[in-house]
């Protein structure tokens, strides 16, 4: 029986599903951008708040605009009393899974407590207000859940600190040194958005139904939690731990490839050259220097060489997770917070995509190709319960 529909690649690879003015990834060139600006150049020269403003309002702010936007978003960091009161229970319930799992519940609660309504029913300004509030709350929720899980009291946000510095302050309880704060800020900027990845697409699909911003973001967080998406930075460092010394890298990679295991921190579904985010983060790591950086650099060289030998033509270079893990470790973040930190950045990109999708009332509703037994088959009848 013939089915209607268009055949598409597995995983929707290369399929264009919509138009966007937010940015793009040019994988063969090793380049990506937010609106018309190089994302890496933005990370090198602008603040996180500047990039947030760019994605939400379509332009980079001037100095006065930066101060106004920074002040506005800082005021939104504080948790509503009902949400703060519920966090200890959320932390206990998600203790085995960690802050990212707790965030799904906490953010839903925060959206409900704030009275978020379906984006379908809101004006563009009202949608943006909800998205700003959600983005500002996510770092506060993540750090509070982390600290509660460690038996510590959450740290109240400070309105006088920039976004990245405040995040580290809420995580550790101490104001970070400028070098660490700027390194984390550059990482956050570099991971704000990255094309139609799985979590961004998930958020847009939910937005296409007209659901509220918290619902859209909760779905995106669920997609990000998977180890094949945002769950890799700590796993890349785990790989360094497993290798132990540079001379063991070759044997370790060969063993992993023979076992059919993926080498976390290497390869990307879009880039066919070096990941520009990883190039920048490698530079940040070398600004710190030290044994971990030297070891990571040696392992990178050996892993790429062995992968080129075992998988010729695949172009398996380091991706953002490899040096992201190194940088976050150097800045004192616990490994359990690597993916949550990624989320604290990406929530801004998700929200910008949700706002863009909310402007289109067409629901995303693809088709699937049925491959089960040929229908219609007769339904088997059960004999009467008391049949002889």
Cα within 13 Å of Cα(355), Cβ side:
24
Number of alpha carbons in the 13 Å side-chain half-sphere of residue 278: 23
The DSSP-derived string for 199-246 is: HHHHHHHHHHTT--HHHHHHHHHHHHTSTTTTS-HHHHHHHHHHH-SG
Ranges of beta strands (E only) in 16-55 are 23-26, 31-34, 37-38
What is the spatial distance between Cα 274 and Cα 131, in angstroms, rounded to a whole number? 33
Q: Is 268 a catalytic residue?
A: yes
Show the CA angle centred on residue 320, arms to residues 314 and 323, nearest 5°.
Answer: 110
Using alpha carbons only, how large is the chain's radius of gyration in Å?
23
229: annotated active-site residue = no
CA–CA separation, 48 vs 183, rounded Å?
11
Asked whether the CA dihedral 23, 362, 208, 231 is positive or negative, the reply is negative
Our CA angle for 352, 126, 69, nearest 5°, is 60
* Residue 385, CA distances (Å) to 18, 378, 379, 380, 388 in order: 55, 21, 17, 15, 9
Taking Cα atoms as reference points, which of 325, 331, 344 lies closest to residue 142? 344
* Axis crossing angle, helix 338-358 with helix 320-330, rounded to the nearest 10: 120
- Identify the CA nearest to 194 among candidates 352, 71, 311, 335: 352
- Indicate which residue of 146, 194, 268, 317 is catalytic: 268
Q: Which of 49, 300, 321, 329 is catalytic?
A: 321
Active site residues: 268, 321
């Amino acid at each position: 029986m013939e089915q209607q529909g268009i055949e598409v690649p597995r995983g929707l690879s290369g399929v264009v599903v919509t138009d966007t003015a937010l940015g793009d990834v040019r994988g063969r060139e090793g380049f990506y951008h937010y609106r018309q600006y190089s994302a890496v150049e933005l990370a090198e020269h602008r603040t996180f708040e500047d990039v947030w403003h760019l994605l939400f309002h379509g332009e980079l702010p001037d100095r006065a605009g930066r101060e106004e936007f920074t002040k506005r978003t800082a005021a939104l960091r504080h948790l509503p009393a009902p949400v703060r009161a519920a966090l200890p229970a959320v932390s206990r319930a998600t203790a085995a899974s960690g802050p990212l799992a707790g965030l799904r519940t906490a953010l839903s609660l925060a959206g409900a407590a704030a009275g978020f309504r379906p984006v379908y029913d809101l004006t563009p300004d009202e949608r943006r207000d909800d998205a700003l509030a959600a983005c500002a709350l996510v770092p506060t929720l993540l750090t509070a859940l982390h600290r509660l899980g460690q038996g510590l009291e959450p740290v109240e946000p400070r309105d006088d600190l920039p976004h990245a510095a405040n995040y580290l302050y809420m995580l550790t309880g101490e104001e970070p040194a400028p070098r660490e704060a700027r390194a984390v800020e550059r990482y956050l900027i570099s991971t704000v958005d990255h094309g139609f990845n799985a979590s961004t697409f998930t958020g847009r699909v939910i937005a296409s139904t007209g659901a509220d911003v918290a619902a859209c973001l909760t779905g995106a967080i669920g997609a990000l939690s998977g180890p094949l998406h945002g769950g890799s930075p700590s796993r890349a460092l785990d790989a360094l731990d497993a290798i132990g010394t540079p001379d063991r890298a070759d044997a370790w990679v060969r063993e992993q490839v023979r076992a059919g295991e993926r080498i976390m921190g290497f390869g990307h579904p879009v880039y066919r050259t070096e990941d520009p985010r990883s190039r920048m983060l490698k530079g940040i790591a070398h600004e710190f220097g030290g044994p971990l950086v030297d070891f990571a650099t040696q392992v990178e060289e050996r892993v790429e060489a062995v992968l080129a030998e075992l998988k010729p033509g695949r172009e398996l270079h380091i991706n953002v997770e490899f040096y992201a893990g190194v940088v976050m470790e150097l800045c004192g973040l616990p490994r359990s917070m690597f993916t949550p930190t990624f989320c604290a950045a990406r929530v801004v990109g998700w929200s910008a995509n949700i706002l863009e999708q909310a402007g289109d009332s067409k629901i995303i509703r693809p088709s699937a190709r049925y491959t089960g037994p040929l229908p219609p088959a007769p339904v088997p009848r059960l004999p009467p319960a008391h049949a002889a």
